Amino acid sequence: MTGSGNFSFPLSGFLYKLADSVHGIQAGVSNREWVILPYLIFELICPVSLLVQSVYLLFNWNLSCNAWKAGIGFVALFCFLGPSVWAGQYAYARMMLPLTVSFNLMIARQKQSPAFWIWFGAGNAGMAEMCLETLYRFFILP
């Protein structure tokens, strides 16, 4: 059901990624691999953040908003991504970058809403590891 490449049945690649991430965390804990445990946790959080972004765009239809128009097609793509794309956070985070940009542009317009920080945190929590790793590689590593 997960297909053999870049595309699969709707949400089967996503569900496979969630199951694989949970198994990775369990294996990391049982093998006491504490150093890679944060990475494994973000491998679970990042797909969930992309799901939050997709849900937000689906339930906040705005045909007059260019950010919504740019991102809604990536919601459909998110549903059909296969296991080859879900293999690593660099692949699926890069593939879904237009979705993330659209989500953040749309959510910025609702900054006065009481639910803003909940949506903003849930939608961007998974990208934090990528940002921290990029900053680490840029400033710390030669």
Residue 7 lies in a domain: no
Residue 27 lies in a domain: yes
Give me the number of domains the chain comprises.
1
Give the domain range for residue 43: 12-139
pLDDT single digits (tens) 40-90: 898 999 999 999 999 999 999 999 999 999 999 999 999 999 888 998 888
From CA 36, how far away is CA 7, in angstroms rounded? Answer: 28
The model's pTM is 0.88
How much is the pLDDT for 110? 85
**Contact status, residue 125 vs residue 52, Cβ threshold 8 Å:** no
CA torsion sign for 68, 70, 75, 78 is negative
Residue 22 lies in a domain: yes
pLDDT score of 2 more than 60: no
Residue 96 lies in a domain: yes
Q: What's the distance, Cα to Cα, between the start and end of the chain in Å?
A: 43
Residue 6 lies in a domain: no
Of the candidates 44, 50, 57, the residue with the CA atom closest to the CA atom of residue 102: 57
